Structures are given as C-alpha cells and as structure tokens.
Structure 1
Amino acid sequence: MSILEADRTVTTTLAEPLTRRERVVLSELAEDVTLEEIATRLFVTRNTVKSQVRSVYRKIGVSTRAEAVAWAEAAGLR
C-alpha cells in the first residue's frame, strides 16, 4: 500500500484525519524510544510530542501506546 493509499484509508475511517506530523509521531511510537528521543529526532520539545501523541490517541480512539501501534498496523501505516 502506498502512502497515498494509506492516507485515503486513514482519512476515510476517521472523523478527524491525522495530520502529516501526527502520522510521523505515530510511526515513531512503534520504535522502542522515549518521548524525549522522539522530540530530539523531530527537533521539537517533549511537550510538543506529548500534545501530538494525545491528539493521535483522541483521533484514533485509543489510550495506550501499544493500542496506537496496533491501530497503525491494522490501518496499514506501519
């Protein structure tokens, strides 16, 4: 599945589509790294990453990192 196809899938299944940055953060969550390490990779603060993670969780209807990663895999984003 191409990125464009994945975008369509995610957009059509969510009330609020994930932004490009939220998709990046979601993919980073699948790695064994801390929020601080994600922030460093993305050149933002840890609080920015925390806000983006909360937004992703709310949009996809999960409450844990493991659920978010499973959702991403099921949606074909990983």
Structure 2
Amino acid sequence: MSMLETSGTGITEALTRRERVVLAELGEDVTLEEIATRLFVTRNTVKSQVRSVYRKIGVSTRAEAVAWAQAHGIS
C-alpha cells in the first residue's frame, strides 16, 4: 500500500485535475507534443506532469499508466 493510500487519501484524489487530464490523454494514440498542443502548454510541461503522475501512481511506463487509469476509471 502506498503512502497516499495509508494516509486516508486515495491516489486518484491525490492527482491534480490536470494530471488526471494528462493521464487520460496518455490512453490516446498521440505523442506528448500532440497532448501539449491540445492542452495549450509546452511539451516540457506535459513531460513534467507525466513524470509526476508516474511517481504518484507507482508506474514507470506509459502502458502501465494507461492500465492503471483504466482500472481506476480515468481513461
């Protein structure tokens, strides 16, 4: 169990609204550049948000993140 879960806050709630949006976008067949364009931010901003999401949900690949999102109703 992660620190977020043991503290009484679910991981899904620990993600910011933007992180949830980025996580949902990862499930699409698009590049980080395309996600950035859709969200009106830079590619580096998306990269930072993706890294934060991965850290918070305990994954290290896009496929794992997408699977986690689907299992938690974020996709």
TM-score, length-normalised on structure 1?
0.81
1:76 Cα deviation from its structure 2 partner: 1.3
Q: Quick one: structure 1 residues 27 and 65, their matched pair in 2 at CA, closer, same or farther if it must change by over 3 Å?
A: same
Q: Which 5+ residue runs of structure 1 have no aligned equivalent? A: 1-10
Identity of aligned residues (%): 85
Give the 3-state SS of the residue equivalent to 1:44 in structure 2. Answer: coil
Alignment of 1:49-60 (within 5 A): 49-60=46-57
* 2:38 paired with 1:41: yes
Q: Quick one: structure 1 residues 76 and 12, their matched pair in 2 at CA, closer, same or farther if it must change by over 3 Å?
A: farther
Take 2:21 and 2:69, find their aligned partners in 1: how far apart are those partners? 11
Partner of 2:22: 25
Take 1:47 and 1:76, find their aligned partners in 2: how far apart are those partners? 26
Q: Which 5+ residue runs of structure 2 have no aligned equivalent? A: 1-7
1:66 Cα deviation from its structure 2 partner: 0.3
CA deviation string 1:19-43 (max 9, x = no partner): 0000000000000000000000000
